[in-house]
Structure 1
Amino acid sequence: MVAQGSSLLEHAPANGSYAFTPSHQGNDFESMVHSYSMSYGRIGAQPLTNDRTFSWAADVQRKGALTFIHAYYKNPWRIRTLDETPQHLTIYMPRSGSFRTSIGTRAIEGRVGQLLMANNHELGDRFMHGHQNASDLLCLDWSVVIRTVTALLEKPVLESLDLEPVLDLTSPSGLIIGNLVGTIMQGMRNNGPLLSSPLGLSMLSEAIADLIIRFTQHRFTPCLEQKISAIAPWHVRRAIDYMHANIGEPFTIAMVADAVGVSLRALQNGFKTFRGTSPGGYLRAIRLQAAHDQLADPLNQKSVREICAIWGFFHPGRFSIAYRSAFGECPKDTRTRAAGALSAH
């Protein structure tokens, strides 16, 4: 079980010294928002009292796909995700005080002994209360989560994950996931040793994503359970091969059925049973992946609009929405990062 003792957190004593080494600290709200926006990404935030002094301290560490924040707040406040906030899996571990948020109409309250997990863009406003509110937060780039789900399901994923947000750390799954989360946090804390091991941190990023997808409840849990005992029949496998071989060509799903030698209904039923989607949905997903691969190519010279057309997406706005849902960023952000990687060399 994840330790709850001083090795992970101590509350800040009244004299203002901390039992950890803050990378950022201050006595006003604006300095906190500025620090987080510079080191983590833009956020919306608002204090919940009119106190002139807002005491806070945080150890913020970012490397690769992971961001770790160990924080202490003496005053209550509210945080919300903005459209431009980087998309990630939020793994929140309360230490003291209270934490409230929502997903849709479901109200969620964080307690000591739990992990709270969700896509930050699906969370409502988060409220931090308590005279001494302390917490650990691990943020995993959403692209790692999607890549893990895609690999496990052997199909591209465009739908929301709908992850069960509350995990009891005393449950079997909670013990496994909580121990690994605690190990990562401890390894990143106070410029810890994991920050000097990019390969190790990358492997741990993939490991935590894999454990969460395998051992918690979400939209695709039934598909994973079914996949253990079900191998797709020959006509589904042949249809997938056909789609990949002709991905850049214009064709209909009826043409795929004809090429495979089965009826359209049989093909639709096979995909629904063994891939959890329709043939058309599968084709859209692999074309979206192809668009992502081209945008991520540092040598790509084509615009986002041109790439949309190449892969059969004729409405750029809808393409952008689907792309962000699948890869955790806008198409232009992928293209910009790829261009930056090329110029850096």
Structure 2
Amino acid sequence: MLDRALLEDGQGKPLLRGKLNGSREWSEVNAFCHRTYMPLSTRPLTPGMNPDSTMRMLRIGRITFSRFCFGTPTRADDFDPNSGNIIVVNTLRGSVRHPLGGKAAVDTRPGDSYVVDCSRTDYWNVADGHDLQLNLTIPHALMEETAARWYGFVPGDDLWKKRLIFGVGHSAWLSLLDYATRSLDARHDAVPNPLIERRIEETIGLELLRNWAESAELNLETGARSAAPYYVREAERLMTERAVEAPSVLEIAAMIGISARSLSEGFRRFRGITPHAFLAAQRLTALREALLAAAPGETVSSIAGGRGYVNLGALAVRYRERFGESPAQTLRSRTLRL
């Protein structure tokens, strides 16, 4: 399982032809790591040793998949917490050592998966030089959105700070990654259909969240969602249904019959986000759906303008932060497949 991940698409056709897929230069390897994961430090365990790396990277939605190894025993550390990224290391060959709680560490073997939120806790790893990994780089914001959408609240740092090994052996998690990588299509620059892309992104986020919460002994089903009062849940319903209308938080609060301050406090306590952030996320989701369903001749300006967006420059920045591409790229991906 995963032995051909990022080497071939689902039809057995080669991926990433013409790309730099390996290097013996530390400068190129470090540039790949900074681009694919986040800024970090690397050093060979044998001074002066050059890498013999594998470096393959593709994105599915907002998740970056990479097939990677240094090709020589190496320590990586000082992962930048400002990146906002979660790393999932799925070991395909050899072993990699990672930190757990306190001074404990774990060696992942083939079939093992390890997750760490580098935006919430420190991280390092030591690769044995014979290793190979299929790694995932996932924005922390994506996991928060997934939790809020499916379970109605954003878990706290008791979850995000927990580093753990999961999915040992031939697990459902690895089967999901196998499906995701087989969905790639070399005929279209390796990008799957947008609907499949969104489904993969959502399913991976949910499955990772489930495994993570189980290890942290957090019951997502009976967590803050069940404790949230009616007015918070009603506000979420209204903001989701009326996202295109772009109501203000004051207007939403008035519809429910409470103050904006009470609504904000309820979201802070039970959801871990502000009502404004929730509404902004719903509006961006509605915009993306409209772009993906655009009729011939429609433009980003016409679609966004019809949804109350005026500053297209600021919109593009927020949109890229959430979806990993510009509104124009989303619209173009739609038209390319028509």
Same fold? TM cut 0.5: yes
Q: How far is the alpha carbon of 1:227 from its aligned partner?
A: 8.2
Q: Which residue of 2 aligns with 1:241?
A: 234
Question: Where does structure 1 lack aligned partners over 5 or more consecutive residues?
Answer: 11-19, 258-266, 268-276, 305-330
TM-score, normalisation: structure 2: 0.63
TM-score, normalisation: structure 1: 0.62
Q: In the superposition, relative to structure 1, how do residues 239 and 186 fare at CA in structure 2: closer, same or farther (>3 Å)? A: closer
Q: Which residue of 2 aligns with 1:115?
A: 113
Q: Which residue of 2 aligns with 1:313?
A: none
Q: Give per-residue Cα distances to partners, 1:311-332, cap 9 Å, x unaligned.
A: xxxxxxxxxxxxxxxxxxxx99
Q: Which residue of 1 aligns with 2:60?
A: 63
Q: Is the 8 A contact 2:38 2:85 kept in 1?
A: no
Q: Percent identity?
A: 9
> What CA RMSD, in Å, does the superposition of the two structures yield over aligned residues?
4.7
Q: Which residue of 1 aligns with 2:96?
A: 99
Q: Give per-residue Cα distances to partners, 1:196-223, cap 9 Å, x unaligned.
A: 4332122111112222333542568324
Q: How far is the alpha carbon of 1:29 from its aligned partner?
A: 1.0
Q: Which residue of 2 aligns with 1:129?
A: 127
Question: 1:51 and 1:64 mapped to 2: Cα distance?
Answer: 38
Q: Is the 8 A contact 1:24 1:35 kept in 2?
A: no
Question: 2:47 and 2:163 mapped to 1: Cα distance?
Answer: 35
Q: Which residue of 2 aligns with 1:208?
A: 204
Q: In the superposition, relative to structure 1, how do residues 63 and 223 fare at CA in structure 2: closer, same or farther (>3 Å)? A: closer
Q: Which residue of 2 aligns with 1:176?
A: 172
Q: Is the 8 A contact 1:66 1:138 kept in 2?
A: yes
SS at match of 2:203: helix
Q: Which residue of 2 aligns with 1:13?
A: none
Q: Give per-residue Cα distances to partners, 1:25-73, cap 9 Å, x unaligned.
A: 21121111123334x2642222133215222122212232221111232
Q: Is the 8 A contact 1:101 1:127 kept in 2?
A: yes
Q: In the superposition, relative to structure 1, how do residues 124 and 100 fare at CA in structure 2: closer, same or farther (>3 Å)? A: farther
Q: Is the 8 A contact 1:148 1:209 kept in 2?
A: yes
Q: Is the 8 A contact 1:194 1:200 kept in 2?
A: no
Q: In the superposition, relative to structure 1, how do residues 118 and 55 fare at CA in structure 2: closer, same or farther (>3 Å)? A: same
Q: Give per-residue Cα distances to partners, 1:122-149, cap 9 Å, x unaligned.
A: 3423223323222111223333322221
Question: 1:188 and 1:23 mapped to 2: Cα distance?
Answer: 19
Q: Is the 8 A contact 1:294 1:300 kept in 2?
A: no
Q: Give per-residue Cα distances to partners, 1:154-202, cap 9 Å, x unaligned.
A: 24x27334356211424xxx72222112332454598899624332122
Q: Is the 8 A contact 2:320 2:326 kept in 1?
A: yes
Q: Is the 8 A contact 1:28 1:52 kept in 2?
A: no
SS at match of 1:57: strand
